[in-house]
Structure 1
């Protein structure tokens, strides 16, 4: 019997090279490419209507800048600052599962006196339950 053939050959959207793709690879793909280089060249082409221009990229950046109202964690070389400070405070790397808690509830206050390290999320949640209604931000 052999494998089922697709109806007609396919051609690369960018370079026009004839190629074979199994039917499973054709599903949901509107523009076939023979290689990653052709795909990237097509996506970065000036005439591509979906291409994100530097102006559009800058507009998105400005529209999203400072929209968190200070509710997000700050980062230090891609890592949450409070976790880096906690590691320095403990003198060792944090173990998997350890949770760093901000005592005053301010996620941006990374003063070592304001940080508590819990063994796991269960201990952290238990501490919040014991504290009652105030300071319930996990």
Structure 2
């Protein structure tokens, strides 16, 4: 029996179905096989320190409003951003006098989480305090 006829019948039956595809030999021609024997012994490898880029940083900016008490802003700066009382009061006064202030600088995902939590806490307490993130230039 001629193998070409068998292969043609199988392929023409249904080329989508794997069972109808012809079985091909799995041995590689000798020209594709690397005939060189592997050497035993030590191999010199140079190790380089990986280059790790610092993540882009974002500032969590808090904005002044006429309704949120200063004490609440200081509380948020201490509880969420871990500022001591003196730094929290200084940042709160910056927010009050300049209209905005930086509460902290973090990688993007952390900054987004902190800003969202500040906004949620303020809404829960009934205050319109707003915080957003923006890229921080070092």
The normalised TM-score by structure 1 is 0.19
Larger radius of gyration: 2
Give 1 or 2: higher helix fraction.
Answer: 2
